[in-house]
Amino acid sequence: MKSFLILLVISVLFSCGSQAGYVLKGEFKGAGNGRAVLLMSSEGQRVISDTVEMKGGKFVFEGEVPDAGWATVVVEPEGKEGVRMMLALENSRIEMRGDWNNLGMDENEELAVLGMQIIGSKNQDVYEQVEGQYKAVKELPEFTKFAEILEKVLETPEILEDTTFYWEYKKGYDVWIARVKKEQLKIMAANPSVEMVAYELGYMKDNMTLEQLEQVFGQFDVKVQQSKWGKAIRESIELRQRIEPGRLAPEFTLARRDSSLVSLADYRGKVVVLDFWASWCRPCRASFPWVREFYEEYREKGVEIIGVSIDENKASWEKALDEERLPWPQVIDEIEKGRSRVGGLYHVLAVPMFVVVDKEGKIVVRAHMEKKELSAVVEKVLGK
């Protein structure tokens, strides 16, 4: 009997020590009575997950989430203006503390409880550490001069129109942001079991090489890699792996202006340059004179260009075609859920973007290039 009681006590202590779900407590001095509403993301939209009564500025939400994620708590005191607050919600005991007498506009010009604390969410802690590096690095002694320049830019953005000033700013910015990313990656490496590291990597991945991205993602725990944020990173890695040099270029068929169809497969046996552009892209249209020269020089050597516009507005694309009168085939991409379908297949994040495909249909290079660089790539392919 004594042994049974000991086991029972241990069992109770163990169950109390584990956290199957979340307990989110709010305590806001001076908020009085009212209600609090918990919003969570569902299929890209914020939906009400729970509504509870608030008494004396205190309220409690309880539940469980499959993964850590962003949630919004709307606190609505009786007779007072309500405030929306975001936090990283996870299955743990979390407290939100603040003073309703300390309402004010935050850095995003939104009403907030200034000085509010969120305690108990490891994901929130990591998020604040990672995001805090922008300010922390700027305050280092070696960035004093850049901080002064940045302040000028924030106060008067038009100052960047001064070419000399712009390049001074750009040089300092590149050094600063590289240091910020370095410090952020250190924090992420030290917290491989916190889902937030995958969320933060999602914003960094497009400025990383595939090798760097794979290395950083590989440091994360399996739980993080399989989280909703981790799955998005994995999909990005798999996409980029499919379009590495030497891989077969993704096939596509798109329509010309007259509705006739153009397929990449139609040009097998030729070297093909895919030119992703848009009517609103000034650098794209500024490149057309030299691309025209390139086309005249190489089309008789078995090289073809296919212009792929990522314009969402077909009329704007057609107007640009009338103005530019480009001699190589032109097609317009299909927009799916606000994104370019073929541009997505080729991981086009910015235009202009050139993709060179060899005679066997394999990707040679994907890059932003000038005439000299593009010519060198094509010469090498033709010389094989």
Residue 8 is assigned to a structural domain of this protein: no
CA 328 – CA 299 distance, rounded (Å): 9
Residues 139 and 159 in one domain: yes
Statement: residue 98 has pLDDT above 80: yes
- Number of structural domains (the chain) is 3
- Say whether both 142 and 203 belong to one domain: yes
Contact (Cβ atoms closer than 8 angstroms) between residue 352 and residue 368:
yes
With a cut of 60, say whether residue 7 has pLDDT above it: no
Domain residue limits at 219: 133-242
Residue 14 has pLDDT above 90, yes or no: no
Percent of the chain with pLDDT over 70: 95
Q: Residue 344: inside a domain, yes or no? A: yes
The pTM (predicted TM-score) of the whole model is 0.77
Tokens 């981790």 correspond to: 230
Which among 76, 92, 120 is the end of a domain? 120
Same domain, 230 and 293: no
Give the pLDDT of residue 19.
55
pLDDT of residue 349: 87
Distance CA 357, CA 116 (A): 54
Name the domain boundary from 212, 242, 272.
242
pLDDT in the model for residue 206: 87
Residue bearing the bigger pLDDT, 46 or 295: 295
- 212 shares its domain with 278: no
**If you average pLDDT over each of 13-22, 121-130, 164-173, which comes out highest?**
121-130
Q: What is the pLDDT of residues 140-170, one digit of tens each?
A: 999 999 999 999 999 999 998 888 899 999 9
**Do residues 270 and 304 touch, judged by C-beta distance below 8 A?**
yes
- pLDDT for 10: 41
- Domain co-membership, 137 together with 237: yes
Tell me the pLDDT tens digit for each residue of 332-346. 999 988 889 999 999
Q: How confident is the model at residue 11 (pLDDT cuts 50, 70, 90)?
A: very low
**Is pLDDT of 16 > 80?**
no
Alpha carbon 334 to chain centroid, angstroms:
22
Between CA 375 and CA 39 the distance in angstroms is 54
Rounded distance between C-alpha atoms, residue 9 and residue 173, angstroms:
59
**Confidence at residue 384, expressed as pLDDT on a 0 to 100 scale:** 66
Look at residues 120, 145, 171 and tell me which one is the last residue of a structural domain: 120
Rounded to an integer, the average pLDDT of 345-364 is 95
